[in-house]
Amino acid sequence: MQSPHSHTAPAALSTQELSQEIKSFISGVDAVQGRKLSVREHARCAVRLLRSVPACRGAVLEHLRGVYDEHVSTFLHNLETEGNASSGATSNLEDIIQEVHGVLSEFIRLNPRAWAPLVSTWAVDLLGQLSSKHAGRRVAPHSSSLNELLQLWMSCAATRSLMESYSQCLAAMLAWCPDACVDALLDTSVKHSPHFDWVVAHIGSAFPGTIISRVLACGLKDFCSHGAKDQGPLVEKGSRVPKIGSVVGILGHLAAHHSDSIRKELLRMFQESLAPSTPLSPSSSSTSWEASPQLRRAAVPFLLQLAAMSPNLFGAVSSELVQGLPREELDNMLGLAVHLISQSPTGGARVLRFLADTATPASVIISGPTPSPHEGVREGCDRLLQMLLLHLHKLVFNRSEGSDVGPFGSASSQPQRVIPFLEELRSHVAPLCAETLRLERKRHLWLHQLLCLLSVYGGPSVATETLCQLLTQARNPEELALAWQLHATLSSCMAGLVPAAVAHCVAQIHTHTLGWRQLRQLLLNLAAALQSSMAAQIGSAVSVHLHDFGPLLLHGDPAVSHAAVRLLSCSPLPRTASPAHLLLLSRAAVTHFFLALRRRGEAGKTGRVLLLTRFAAYSALTLKAILQQLVEGALHKGNAELFGGQIADMSGAPVASPSVSPDLGASLLDINCRFGTTVNFSGSVWSVFHAGVIGKGLKPRTAANLPDPSGVIQNIQTLLAVIVQCCSSSSLNGSQSPSDPEEPPPINAEAAKVIAVTLVENVCPDVANGELSWPPEEHARTTVERDIHIRRCFEAHPVLFPLLQVVAAGRPALCYCSAVLRGLLATLLSHWEGSREASSTDSPWHLQASCLLVSCMGEGQLLPPVLANVHEAFAHLTPFEVRLLLLAVWEYVRGNGPLPQKFVFSSDKGIFCRDFSRDGDVSRYVAPIHSVLHKNIDRLGHLCWRFQL
Amino acid sequence: MNSRLPMASDSSSMKLKLQRSTRRRVGTGTLQQTHTGHVIRRFLVAMGDIRQSLLPRDVLSAAKELLYHLDIYICNMVQSGRQPPQVDSKTLDLIEEFILHTPKDRNSPVRRMSALQELQLLEIMCSCFQEQSRDTVRQLMFSALFNLQGNQADESRMALLSKLVSMAVAVGRVPILECAATWLQRTHRVYCVRLAQVLVDDYCSMVPGSGPTLHNIHSASPRFCCQFITAVTTLYDLTSDELTPPMELLQMIVSWIQDDPRLVLITFLNSPLSGSQPISSLDMTPLGGLIRWCIKAPLAYRRDKKQVNDGSSDSEPDTARLFSALHLSVLQVFMLLPNILNEKGLFGRLALLQMESVATLTSDLSRLLDQADKHTHAATGNTHAASQLALDRLAQALQVAMASGALLCSREDLRAICSRLPHNNLLQLVLSGPVMYYNNIHTPPLAYSPHAAHSPIPAHPTLPPHTPHTPLAAHPAPHAQYPAQPFMTGMPFPFRPGH
């Protein structure tokens, strides 16, 4: 059984020759010829000795180190000079390196047990030495660029050959002593740390599965034998951790490409350490460590330690490890667990939920999907959670000092330490708040504390977010109180929290991220807050954003708008606000008012009235805007029917619904619109008038479909109440006496003027002939069209008369309605003139209008009391007589123009009054009255005293 | 002598050389015991000085210089004729410090040699021992260097020794091998086994093709070869895979013994009969180990084969043949013994085969047989044949050993020892046979002198032959002679002593 000789093996040398050979090898001089051996010859000699004299093994390998080093030097030198002048020498050495490699690989193949440990140690050591020694060379890339390094070294024959030899040894040794070879690798890796990485990388990627598991097993063994003192997680900082460091390094390096295998290995280790020990493990890959109970016990601490040292690895195991935590009963691991949780970059929320779920005391009422855990486990979790909170507390509040608080040096070196657990929870603020608000026993205390920490940790942004969430999600005062507790805690360390939170809420409103329920809740909560102890802070914060809440009044959901009313009506108004915002708010408020009227049946109108009143009282601008909008709104097409009005078209006439007049295919507007685009003279343009199309008779009057008289009355009352309140509550007149609470305050003149002007603008679009003073009655012919419009307006909008009354009450505002009054009076005059009825009562609307008009003018002191009282007689007269009386009115007003400057302010009553004695003699206007009185003395006797001068 | 050792080139060694030459002159001039004692004391003082001069040197030259001085010192000692010639502890300390590099105390720096320097040192030692003409000096020097002292230096001592011997084998340095043979005789067997292990590793497994080099030692140094065989047989007791001798080694040993059976006995023949064998040293001869090999081999190698799964089906008959040949050779060696013992006058007085080792062997064998039975329930013919072969060999060996006076014990003792073994015809015969002839005779081991051995024999033929021996009755002459002589004269043994 002779071993096969390689062709280069010399035929067995005699002992004499061997002795010569050894001498030559030692001296480097040819023993026979006495000349110096070249490097190549010397190496050849060494190889021969390696083959024939076993005792020279160590020396030969040591000598070969020099040869390899020489080759690497030459190689790098060639690279540096980029010349191939000395390539001959290189190839020579390459040749010898090939020979050595051949011999070694033959030996390993023939007897792996003897040679593999030897050669692997030698190769790894030499590789480490070469990599470190030549790391500083110019061509050698920096140790951080692993790929370039790998390319460089693998292109060098010497290192490549070493690497191949090592791989061969490893492949051979894996079968029977896998730990030994990885041990050597780890040791060398520690020694030549950054420069040796490429070797680990190459080996690791060549044998990923085995290397990973071996590395772990090695590390575990080492941990078990050395790591007893390292178990305390917080004290181990400076102590010697020989292998675990490089284990972490290698795994961290391999994690780039083999993270899955690493994760699998770690989990396997974890699971097998937890599994009940079986004497014969079926898995073949698990070699040794499962068998020893000591190692099994050390596995979990080892994994935790690994995780503590490398965020990468921790990411791989964190989530699954968590499931095993409570089962772990080792006390000294609690701290480590806490530390790990706090350092966990992902899965923190899950961990927290798990802990909280488990630690929450079992309740009869709340029974989760899982059966309640064992009491011991629950207590463990409780404790763990409390320690976690404590730890976080320390971390958070010591963070800024930052010097030496943390357990691990790497973390504390940064100025502002990152706490991954909290970092991750930042994105879970909303669910945390929701859970906190559930107010479950101990749980909400924990969570509340955690929220506090999170807010402090995350700074104002998180704090704001948290507070905002609480404000949005709280549903009752108890829950809302949590928000103020949080604020109380945080207010000490950060200022301006409430304004920021409110601003954040507003931002959320703007981005429409809240559902209507949340929105409503938020508004209600803010409103509630305005009445709580926080009123001052919240109030000032909310008032800044009033204009942002304004649009919510018009929110599609009544609940939201209602909530907005609540908020706005109790929030203080800002001291200064831009007109644009004010206008916006008032417009929104008014629109909301009409909307609310439309949604009849809702309670709480007081709130709206209050709101409008508050706004109106804020400034002249708002007052004006509100009144104007109220009036306009009341007259608006959409709202008209609320107040018993009919929808009028541009001409002021009520529009016939298409179903009523199907045959009438023409309207002036339509024709005008079409004019010019199409030539259509089917119905002549000129034949269409406001009263109808010539040849087709009068337009049919639309049937008055008064919806609900009582409702209309109620609406009108509401509207009037609002307007009156707005007018009277305004604090514009500084001289107004606030003395009499039971007497309703007088209508403010300015406010009334606003109403008047608005009325005129709306009812009488034609500004021509709009002067206050009245022309002679005959001149009314020039304004027939306008007068008809005005009359129709009054016909269509019953609410106009009450509005006029309000205006009249606010003397001298009615003067500004002069044009409207004149137009209406003119049409009434023409009506009564043309009327052929026996009694004025036969034209009820005109009669009523006449009465109201005159009484209004009397109230507004456009007429002296004598003339103002004539309306009382109208109902008893014939149309012609009514006309006579109205003419008298006209004449008086024409003679004594309705000018505001005729009114003087009487400070004792607080209102403006007109002294009629200054005007001309009334008696000449009273003559027709007296005539009519005489004529009908039988029926008007009881009224005679009313017309005494 | 100056040419033997490499010259130390610096001035201090020159000075020492001068001192030495003057001392030698003085030593040779006056032979008074006191005076020589004085010289040695002076020299010892000088050795103490040496340490100071060695300290600043590099490791190799320091070791070289120390060797040089050691040589001079021992020469002087031998010349002065001090009894017993023993190296004092101060020198041993120096050796440990500068050659074996054991840290002397905690604060002295650890000096280590590189492998190359070590090789150079080995080379120097080789030539040093080679060129020393006086055996005594050489032996003393070897002892000074390599005798185990039971301290922490022993490990490096063993390592250096192993390398030295391995190298000596390679380059054929006979003097070193002779010294090593002596060392192997005197040292605890554990260390001997380690040395043998290194040699086997080096030459039979590590370096392919280097087996022939080791094979040459039997011609270079038969003593060493014999001790080597003893150590190897002690090491490989066939209890496990690791403890099974490599094929190459087995071939080597078989061929050695086949070539010259007396090789096995060389140590025995050359050693003085003082009986001062150090405790726990190797056996005087490898016979016990060889017998164990032969007997256990059929079972052990069958077990191997089963594990290898027919991977070496062709090697099995090869092994079987080798062991068979070995067995024959061993038996032949036994046959040589009576003459030798008689010549030395030790027949029946010296047991080359210890009773205890036989007892261990039989108990091992019975355990192996039990295992074999257990493992192969349907005991195949193979297993059965193997166990019968083992038992046959045991019986043969026992018979021949007893007859040749190598094993001194009674059959009663043998029966007790072999009681647990399964049945075997031959063994039965061996155990019971002679009892039929003198059933009331206990053979007292110490009374078994060559002269006494002859006395009971004439009484033998008077007893009726026992039935198992009836086949032998066909050959009356050998049968009649059988008890009369320790071995059968009629048998065609070529190596019968005296022929």
First CA to last CA distance, chain A: 158
**For residues A138 and A79, what is the distance between their CA atoms, to the nearest angstrom?**
9
The answer to whether position B180 is within a domain reads yes
The band of B164, judged by pLDDT with boundaries at 50, 70 and 90, is very high
Mean pLDDT for A404-423 is 52
Q: Which amino acid is at B421?
A: L
The answer to whether position B4 is within a domain reads no
- In the predicted structure, residue B320 carries a pLDDT above the cut 70: yes
CB contact under 8 A, A22 and B123: yes
**For residues B87 and B141, what is the distance between their CA atoms, to the nearest angstrom?**
9
Element (H, E) at A692: strand A692-693
Closest residue by Cα to residue A409 from A542, A579, A239: A239
CB contact under 8 A, B210 and A52: yes
Question: Cβ distance A502 to A542 under 8 Å?
Answer: yes
**What region does A28 belong to: left with phi over 0, alpha with psi -120 to 50, or beta?**
left
Mean pLDDT for A303-330 is 58
Predicted confidence (pLDDT) per residue in A333-371, tens digit: 566 666 666 666 666 667 777 777 666 665 544 444 455
The answer to whether position A27 is within a domain reads no
What total of structural domains would you count in chain A? 4
Interface with chain B: mutation pick from A57, A118, A125, highest number of B CBs within 10 Å: A57
CB contact under 8 A, A51 and B210: yes
Distance from CA of A56 to the nearest CA of B (A): 7
Residues of A in contact with B170 (CB under 8 A): 15, 18, 52-55
- In the predicted structure, residue A865 carries a pLDDT above the cut 60: yes
Distance from CA of B266 to the nearest CA of A (A): 24
Q: Which amino acid is at B370?
A: D
Question: Cβ distance A233 to A407 under 8 Å?
Answer: yes
Predicted confidence (pLDDT) per residue in B261-305, tens digit: 889 888 888 877 666 677 788 888 899 999 999 999 888 876 555
Burial class (CB in 10 A: 0-12, 13-18, 19+), B63: buried
Could you list the beta-strand ranges (E) of A807-931.
903-906, 911-914
- In the predicted structure, residue A583 carries a pLDDT above the cut 70: yes
The band of B439, judged by pLDDT with boundaries at 50, 70 and 90, is very low
**For residues B94 and B84, what is the distance between their CA atoms, to the nearest angstrom?**
21
Judged by average pLDDT, the poorest of A6-20, A122-136, A692-706, B264-278 is A692-706
Q: Which residue of A has its CA nearest to B117?
A: A59
Please report the pLDDT score of residue A327 as a whole number.
Answer: 47
Please report the pLDDT score of residue A948 as a whole number.
Answer: 77
CB contact under 8 A, B248 and A1: yes
The answer to whether position A641 is within a domain reads no
Residues A444 and A523 in one domain: no
Residues of A in contact with B208 (CB under 8 A): 3-5, 106-107, 110-111
Question: Cβ distance A419 to A428 under 8 Å?
Answer: no
The band of B441, judged by pLDDT with boundaries at 50, 70 and 90, is very low
Judged by average pLDDT, the poorest of A552-561, A586-595, A681-690, B162-171 is A681-690
Q: Which residue of B has its CA nearest to A20?
A: B171
Element (H, E) at B141: helix B135-146
Nearest to A26 among B119, B171, B203 (CB): B119
Residues of B in contact with A52 (CB under 8 A): 170, 207, 209-210, 213
Residues of A in contact with B171 (CB under 8 A): 15, 18-19, 22, 53
Closest residue by Cα to residue A302 from A228, A204, A193: A228
Residues B80 and B185 in one domain: yes
* HEC letters along B271-330: CCCCCCCCCCECCCCCHHHHHHHHHHHHHHHHHHHHHHCCCCCCHHHHHHHHHHHHHHHH
**For residues A473 and A464, what is the distance between their CA atoms, to the nearest angstrom?**
14
- In the predicted structure, residue A459 carries a pLDDT above the cut 80: no
Residues A464 and A547 in one domain: no
CB pairs under 8 A between A and B: 97
To 10 degrees, the CA torsion angle through A10, A11, A14, A15? Answer: 50
DSSP helix/strand/coil, A912 = strand
Please report the pLDDT score of residue B81 as a whole number.
Answer: 77
DSSP helix/strand/coil, A648 = strand
A contact residues 186-205, partner B, Cβ 8 Å cutoff: none
- In the predicted structure, residue A277 carries a pLDDT above the cut 70: no
Residue span of the structural domain in which B359 resides: 287-304+315-347+355-375+383-434
CB contact under 8 A, B205 and A19: no
Q: Which two tokens stand for residue A924?
A: 């000449």
CB contact under 8 A, B116 and A63: yes
The residue assigned the tokens 């009825």 is A837
**For residues A568 and A585, what is the distance between their CA atoms, to the nearest angstrom?**
10
Residues B293 and B177 in one domain: no
Residues B122 and B229 in one domain: yes
First CA to last CA distance, chain B: 48
CB contact under 8 A, B209 and A51: yes
Nearest to A53 among B115, B167, B251 (CB): B167
Q: Which two tokens stand for residue A948?
A: 């005494």
**Domain edge (last residue) among B418, B434, B450:** B434
CB contact under 8 A, A15 and B120: no
Q: Which residue of B has its CA nearest to A19?
A: B171
pTM: 0.53
**Domain edge (last residue) among B220, B235, B250:** B235
Residues A770 and A908 in one domain: yes
Question: Cβ distance A73 to A134 under 8 Å?
Answer: yes
Mean pLDDT for A689-703 is 64
The answer to whether position A656 is within a domain reads no
Question: Cβ distance A726 to A616 under 8 Å?
Answer: yes
Using a CB–CB cutoff of 8 Å, tell me whether A122 touches chain B.
no
Question: Cβ distance A374 to A329 under 8 Å?
Answer: no
Please report the pLDDT score of residue B2 as a whole number.
Answer: 42
Element (H, E) at B332: helix B315-344
Using a CB–CB cutoff of 8 Å, tell me whether A56 touches chain B.
yes
What total of structural domains would you count in chain B? 2
CB contact under 8 A, A1 and B122: no
Count Cα neighbours of A735 within 13 Å in the Cβ-side half-sphere: 10
The band of B163, judged by pLDDT with boundaries at 50, 70 and 90, is very high
Question: Cβ distance A654 to A648 under 8 Å?
Answer: yes
Residues of chain A with pLDDT > 70: what percent?
71
Residues B120 and B185 in one domain: yes
Residues A449 and A519 in one domain: no
**For residues A140 and A147, what is the distance between their CA atoms, to the nearest angstrom?**
12
Q: Which two tokens stand for residue A215?
A: 């590395």
Nearest to A114 among B122, B167, B201 (CB): B201
Q: Which amino acid is at B464?
A: P
- In the predicted structure, residue A663 carries a pLDDT above the cut 70: no
Residues B51 and B184 in one domain: yes
The answer to whether position B392 is within a domain reads yes
Please report the pLDDT score of residue A703 as a whole number.
Answer: 53
Residues of chain A with pLDDT > 90: what percent?
0
ipTM given for this complex = 0.74
The answer to whether position A632 is within a domain reads no
CB contact under 8 A, A12 and B116: no
Q: Which two tokens stand for residue B235?
A: 């090491």
Residue span of the structural domain in which A547 resides: 496-576
Closest residue by Cα to residue B91 from B144, B37, B158, B161: B144
Judged by average pLDDT, the poorest of A554-563, A905-914, A916-925, B11-20 is B11-20
The answer to whether position A323 is within a domain reads no
Judged by average pLDDT, the poorest of A380-394, B139-153, B189-203, B381-395 is A380-394
- In the predicted structure, residue A400 carries a pLDDT above the cut 60: no
Distance from CA of A106 to the nearest CA of B (A): 9
Residues A765 and A852 in one domain: yes
Using a CB–CB cutoff of 8 Å, tell me whether A20 touches chain B.
no
Residues B93 and B194 in one domain: yes
Residues A387 and A532 in one domain: no
Closest residue by Cα to residue A593 from A642, A630, A623, A631: A630
The answer to whether position B49 is within a domain reads yes
- In the predicted structure, residue B62 carries a pLDDT above the cut 60: yes
Q: Is the peptide bond before B84 cis (omega within 30 degrees of 0)?
A: yes
Element (H, E) at A693: strand A692-693
Closest residue by Cα to residue A40 from A93, A102, A103: A93
Distance from CA of B209 to the nearest CA of A (A): 6
Distance from CA of B165 to the nearest CA of A (A): 9
The answer to whether position A612 is within a domain reads no
The answer to whether position B190 is within a domain reads yes
The band of A926, judged by pLDDT with boundaries at 50, 70 and 90, is confident
**For residues A890 and A862, what is the distance between their CA atoms, to the nearest angstrom?**
11
Element (H, E) at A172: helix A157-173
**Higher-scoring residue by pLDDT: A415, A567:** A567
Q: Which two tokens stand for residue A914?
A: 């007109």
Please report the pLDDT score of residue A734 as a whole number.
Answer: 42
Q: Which two tokens stand for residue A685?
A: 């343009």
CB contact under 8 A, B166 and A63: no
Contacts with A66 (C-beta within 8 Å, 6 or more apart), sequence order: none
**For residues A808 and A817, what is the distance between their CA atoms, to the nearest angstrom?**
9
The answer to whether position A739 is within a domain reads no
Residues A487 and A506 in one domain: no
Please report the pLDDT score of residue A328 as a whole number.
Answer: 45
Q: Which residue of A has its CA nearest to B127?
A: A19
- DSSP-derived secondary structure for B43-74: HHHHHHHHHHHHTTS-HHHHHHHHHHHHHHHH
Contacts with A325 (C-beta within 8 Å, 6 or more apart), sequence order: A337, A384
Q: Which residue of A has its CA nearest to B160?
A: A55
- In the predicted structure, residue A281 carries a pLDDT above the cut 60: no
Residues of B in contact with A18 (CB under 8 A): 170-172
Mean pLDDT for A471-480 is 79
Q: b vs e for A901-916, b when ≥16 Cβ sit within 10 Å of the residue's Cβ?
A: ebbeeeeeebbbebeb
**For residues B162 and B463, what is the distance between their CA atoms, to the nearest angstrom?**
59
Residues of A in contact with B172 (CB under 8 A): 15-16, 18-19
Residues B295 and B212 in one domain: no
Q: Which two tokens stand for residue A73?
A: 């030097």
The answer to whether position A157 is within a domain reads yes
Residues A445 and A479 in one domain: yes
**Count of residues in chain B:** 499
Count Cα neighbours of B260 within 13 Å in the Cβ-side half-sphere: 12
Q: Which two tokens stand for residue A486?
A: 């949080």
Residues B152 and B88 in one domain: yes
- Dihedral sign from CA coordinates of A889, A894, A896, A898: positive
Predicted confidence (pLDDT) per residue in A477-512, tens digit: 777 777 777 777 777 777 777 788 888 888 888 887
Q: Which residue of B has its CA nearest to A16?
A: B171
**Higher-scoring residue by pLDDT: A68, A402:** A68
Residues A760 and A818 in one domain: yes
The answer to whether position B371 is within a domain reads yes
The answer to whether position B268 is within a domain reads no
Please report the pLDDT score of residue A92 as a whole number.
Answer: 64
Question: Cβ distance A212 to A258 under 8 Å?
Answer: yes
Instruction: Determine phi and psi for A744, rounding to 5 degrees.
Output: -65, 140
Residues A769 and A892 in one domain: yes
The band of B230, judged by pLDDT with boundaries at 50, 70 and 90, is very high
Residues A486 and A505 in one domain: no
Using a CB–CB cutoff of 8 Å, tell me whether A606 touches chain B.
no
Burial class (CB in 10 A: 0-12, 13-18, 19+), A180: middle
**Domain edge (last residue) among B235, B255, B279:** B235
Using a CB–CB cutoff of 8 Å, tell me whether A5 touches chain B.
yes
Residues B207 and B333 in one domain: no
Contacts with A738 (C-beta within 8 Å, 6 or more apart), sequence order: A745
- In the predicted structure, residue B454 carries a pLDDT above the cut 90: no
Question: Pairing between strand A911-914 and A903-906?
Answer: antiparallel
Residues B85 and B231 in one domain: yes
- In the predicted structure, residue B194 carries a pLDDT above the cut 90: yes
Residues A426 and A567 in one domain: no
The band of B257, judged by pLDDT with boundaries at 50, 70 and 90, is very high
